[in-house]
A and B are shown apart, each in its own frame.
Chain A
Amino acid sequence: MKRIFTKITNRRNLLTGGAALAGGTALASFGVVRRPRAATFDSESTDPSNYVQTAMQSMGNHGEMVTIGDVGTDINGFDASDLLTDWETGQIEVGHDGRKTRTFQVEAEDREIEIAPGVTFPAWTFNGRVPGPTLRATEGERLRIVFRNSGSHPHSMHFHGIHGASMDGINGSGLIDPGEEFIYEFDAKPFGCHLYHCHAFPLRAHMHKGMYGTFIVDPDPEKHSENRGVALSRKLGTPENSTWQEFVMVMNAFDTNFDGENEFYAVNTVAHHYMKHPIKIDRDRPVRIYLVNVTEFDPINSFHLHANFFNYFDHGTTLTPTLQTVDTIMQCQAQRGILEFSFENHEAGKYMFHAHQSEFAELGWMAVFDVTGGAE
């Protein structure tokens, strides 16, 4: 997002003929004033620090710098807190040869969602939510994704994974018109933290309208004897995995006034949601985050953890970290990875995490872990 200072053309206002905010200081400009660069005026009664202090005094923990209000489930039908751990594991069938086939049902639909308190956005969704369902499978399984398009535009599901050309979700291979259905079929590989998104053109519009979701392929421990323990901890449903606190976080943003710049940033859609509803962390159990960046219009997004460091597995396709002991990583569009860390030796309390582009943070991508447990 460019510095918002530069005069933006409010496309919606142009469309509706409502650019009513022209000439902010026209009164001042009729004949008398140009903006002085240096403020050297007489400040006998106006010590600026007084103002700042007074204004600061009224601020709470994180100040008044936050969206006002709260997003409930009334409009969305989902709570952003639930999205963190809502794994969609589909239906499993075991074939004669013992091979598992996992079937997911996904439906594209138009739906208005509330992306910040009081601000609705006409989204295109997978299964009525943004981000779409977090599809989770295990390496080596046969996957069938039954995709129905109940939206108003042609849509597809393009998986970041390994598959044949006919299953790619582009024009001619699974891009379907409204009312149609398509079944994507391929093997779950490679293991890692991936994503899927609509690949209809214009891609930018379909992406930023909300058509994306996380696609996790857990490693098959049997195939990774050298790192079997790590693989077991990654595989959903194992005792090793259950000691972990796993969360999926999709870094996304919304351009509400169609000017090609985002007005709201978040993880999992709702600006500031995890600021107002901190994510509960048991400090004695390790934390794993499946982080995906689908932010449109801005080339990169980032994740910064306060007061702690983590190991990072880029794309999640390795069982040993690709980056060790870092507290900030950045991802380009569609890049994703796994973060692993622990608050084991930390005091209990609130630990922030946010994009370290201050602007993204201040426009909504700012959140808090509420670490509890252990002896004080």
Chain B
Amino acid sequence: MDGCFRRYGGRGMSTTNGKAITSRLSILTVAVLPIVLLVLSGVWIISSDPLNVFNSNTPPIEELVIERLFLDEEGIHLKVRAEGSEPITIAQIQIDAAYWKFTQSPSGSLSRLSSANILIPYPWVEGDAHNVVIVTNSGATFEREIEVALPSQTGRVGNLRAQATVGGFVGILPVAIGMMFFPLLVRLRSKGMKFVLSLTLGMLAFLLIDVLEDAFELAAEAASAFQGPTMVILIATTACLGLVAIGRRNGAPTGLALATFIALGIGLHNFGEGLAIGAAIAAGATSLGAFLILGFTIHNVTEGIAIVAPVVRKRPSIAILVALVLLAGAPAIPGIWLGSYAIEPHWAALALAIGAGAILQVLFEVGALTLRGPKGFLENLDWTFLSGFIFGISFMLLTGIVVKI
């Protein structure tokens, strides 16, 4: 950088004396000038409005995102966020093709990216479908269908406990069961161990794709100004690099450290699974039958194997194993709580993006551990690895059939 400035300054000044002063001056100029120009062009654009020619008579772009929707004894609650080029004024609201009174707080028009809570005292019918249409002052409409009207699960202690139980079944139980393969893993020889680690990699690859898919889906639902998809990638990458950096303070993580990171990544993924289940409960609990919970339990069994694989030679204490189980499985419970509370999509996407980063990190570390030989990085890529990897992915895919209805 310095050299660049010097070269730049040197072009105008040939004497060596002036060089130091000039370069400092030019640094100042070079740094300030673009900013001044930017400000000036901003003023010019706003004052002259060069695009005015093109849209003399077009209505303003109106965009509205419904971030939350839940029903209770008061009626239908919405949280909306405005997005368009100009403030949006919600003029009227239709429920099932009829206008209804509503309250909005804060009231008034919504400037870009600001949000408001809306309550429509509508006598909704449990189990029915309802249709909400928001009409703005220009007559533009924004529609949202309530597929199955169900009361909000929020704040009911009994429900929270029931949801925690479901979370235990889909998060904690399978990881614990998976870990029970520990004594078996201990007896494995190096080839068998490699198969298990490859299987772990395959499973992690599946989870990474799974969690990214969900994160993108949620990001697409959020206000587009949040630039969801880009943010998902950025956050996942940052989280991954950050975790790699933390994990490698004292060299590449192995053993318990690696197991902990795997548990963390899986935990964040299970948090995402919890969100989905919670949202499902909020949207229609009937479809979440025992069959589905069992599906999740089987689906997640390999996660336990993955976590203990790096510590097979270390003989960890039961307490540590329990801690790992909780780290990997327990996040499903808050996930379900938040999911049923109809968390705003951008927050859910953020959580899942971090989860994707965490999984990417362990994918990288376990991959390095498994594939690196004394001579090179992909030295250990052989049929044992491939069969384990493919078995891992296939297992997740096949058990996924049960869960992805």
Note whether A and B form a binding pair: yes
A contact set with B: CB distance below 8 Å: 1, 3-5, 8, 10, 12-13, 16-18, 20-28, 30-36, 38-46, 48, 50-52, 54-56, 58-59, 64-69, 116-121, 254, 256-257, 259, 263, 271-272, 359, 362-364
- Are the CB atoms of A256 and B138 closer together than 8 Å? yes
Contact A23 B140 (CB under 8 A): no
Would A65 and B282 count as touching, CB distance under 8 A?
Answer: no
- Given the complex, which residues of A lie within 8 Å of B83, measured CB to CB? 18, 20
A291 CB to nearest B CB, Å = 23
Q: Given the complex, which residues of B lie within 8 Å of A26, measured CB to CB? A: 217-218, 220-221, 345
B376 within 8 A of A: no
In the bound complex, residues from chain B placing their C-beta under 8 Å from that of A38 are 127, 286
- The smallest C-beta distance from B174 to any residue of chain A, in angstroms, reads 16
With a CB–CB cut-off of 8 A, which chain B residues contact A43? 126
Contact of B283 among A13, A25, A363 (CB under 8 A): A25
Minimal beta-carbon separation of A70 from chain B (angstroms)? 12
Interface-side segment among B15-23, B145-153, B305-313, B354-362: B145-153
A40 x B286 contact (CB < 8 A): yes
What are the 5 tightest A-B residue pairs by CB atom distance, in nearest-first order?
Answer: A256-B139, A39-B127, A362-B98, A118-B91, A48-B126
Across-interface contacts of A117 in B (CB, < 8 A): 91-92
| In the complex, chain A residues whose CB is within 8 Å of the CB of B135 | 116, 119, 256, 263
Tell me which of A10, A39, A42, A51 contacts B123 (CB under 8 A).
A51
B92–A64 touching, CB < 8 Å = no
B294 within 8 Å of A (CB atoms): no
Residues of A within 8 A of B276 (CB): 27-28, 30-32
* Complex: A43 Cα to B97 Cα, angstroms: 28
Asked if A257 and B214 make an inter-chain contact with CB atoms under 8 angstroms apart, the answer reads no
Mind listing 5 A-B residue pairs with CB under 8 Å? A20-B65, A21-B66, A39-B284, A51-B71, A116-B92
Minimum CB distance partner of A4 in chain B: B97
Expressed in whole angstroms, the Cα–Cα distance for A38 and B141 within the complex equals 30
Stretch at the interface among B24-32, B56-64, B193-201, B390-398: B56-64
Q: State whether the Cβ of B10 lies closer than 8 Å to any Cβ in chain A.
A: no
Measured between alpha carbons, how far is A363 from B94 in the docked complex, in Å? Answer: 8
Q: Which residues of A contact B62 (CB under 8 A)?
A: 12-13, 16, 18
**In the assembled complex, which residues on chain A have CB atoms less than 8 Å from the CB atom of B151?**
45-46, 51
In the assembled complex, the Cα of A272 lies from the Cα of B99 at a distance in Å of: 10
- A231 CB to closest chain B CB, in angstroms? 42
> In the complex, how many angstroms separate the beta carbon of A3 from the nearest chain B beta carbon?
7
Evaluate contact between B126 and A36: CB separation under 8 angstroms: no
Q: What range describes how many residues of B lie at the interface? A: 35 or more
Which of B89, B91, B217, B405 has most A Cβ within 10 Å? B91
Is the beta-carbon distance between B131 and A256 smaller than 8 angstroms?
no
Residues on B with C-beta less than 8 A from A254 are 139
Rounded to whole Å, the gap between the CB of B103 and the closest CB of chain A is 9
Residues of B within 8 Å of A34, CB to CB, are 287, 405
Which of B141, B224, B276, B277 counts the most chain A CB atoms within 10 A?
B141
Given known pairs A31-B405, A362-B97, the reply for A55 and B284 (CB within 8 Å) is no
| Choice from A18, A33, A69 contacting B287 with Cβ under 8 Å | A33
The reply on B275 being an interface residue by CB < 8 A is yes
User: Judging by beta carbons under 8 Å apart, are A16 and B143 in contact?
Assistant: no
On chain B, the residues within 8 Å of A13 by CB distance are 62-63, 140, 142
A23 CB to closest chain B CB, in angstroms?
Answer: 6
Known: A4-B97, A8-B141. 14 other contacts (CB 8 A): A4-B94, A8-B143, A20-B63, A30-B213, A48-B126, A51-B71, A55-B121, A55-B124, A58-B121, A64-B121, A67-B92, A120-B138, A257-B141, A363-B99
Secondary structure of the B contact surface, majority rule: mixed
Q: Is the CB of B61 within 8 A of A42?
A: no
Contacts of A24 in B (CB 8 A): 66, 69, 144-147
The answer on a CB contact under 8 Å between A68 and B63 is no
**Whole-angstrom distance between the alpha carbons of A371 and B94 in the complex?**
30
Q: Let me know if A36 and B404 touch, CB within 8 A.
A: no
Question: Which residues of A lie under 8 Å from residue B36 when comparing CB positions?
Answer: none
Q: Which residues of A contact B75 (CB under 8 A)?
A: 55
What chain A residues lie within 8 Å of B101 (beta carbons)?
Answer: 64-66, 68
By the criterion CB–CB under 8 Å, are A32 and B277 in contact?
yes
Give the docked Cα–Cα distance between A127 and B73 (Å). Answer: 48
Min C-beta distance of B134 to chain A, whole Å = 9
A3, A50, A54, A56: most-surrounded residue (chain B CB, <10 A): A54
> Does B229 sit at the interface, judged by CB under 8 A?
no
Bound Cα distance from A256 to B141, whole angstroms: 8
A67 to B137 alpha-carbon distance, docked (Å): 13
Nearest chain-A residue to B64 (Cβ)? A20
Give B106-142 as 1s and 0s: 1 = Cβ < 8 Å from A's Cβ atoms. Answer: 0000000000000011111111010101011111111
Q: Is the CB of A1 within 8 A of B97?
A: yes
* Cα–Cα distance between A4 and B144 once the two chains are bound (Å): 11
Which A residues lie within 8 Å of B92 (CB)?
A: 67-68, 116-119
Within 8 A of A (CB), among B65-109: 65-66, 69, 71-75, 83-84, 89, 91-94, 96-102
Tell me the bound Cα distance from A116 to B91 in angstroms. Answer: 8
Which partner residue on chain A sits nearest B282 by CB separation?
A28
Across-interface contacts of B93 in A (CB, < 8 A): 68
Q: Which of A35, A46, A67, A363 contacts B284 (CB 8 A)?
A: A35
- Tell whether, in the assembled complex, residue B59 and residue A12 are in contact, meaning their CB atoms are under 8 Å apart: yes
Say yes or no: B91 contacts A119, CB within 8 Å.
Answer: yes
Would you call B73 and A50 a contact (CB within 8 A)? yes
A13 to B133, CA, bound (A): 14
Least distance between A117 CB and chain B CB atoms (Å): 7
Q: Does B156 lie at the interface of the complex (its beta carbon under 8 Å from any beta carbon of A)?
A: yes
Query: In the complex the two chains form, what is the Cα distance from A38 to B285 in whole Å?
Result: 11
- The residues in B between 266 and 291 inclusive whose CB is less than 8 angstroms from any CB of A are 275-277, 279-280, 282-288
CB <8 Å contact, A28 and B99: no
Bound-complex Cα distance A116 to B73 (A): 28
| B window 326-345: CB within 8 A of A | 339, 342, 345
- Residues of B contacting A50 with CB < 8 Å? 73
Task: Tell me which residues across on chain A come within 8 A of B177, comparing CB atoms.
Answer: none
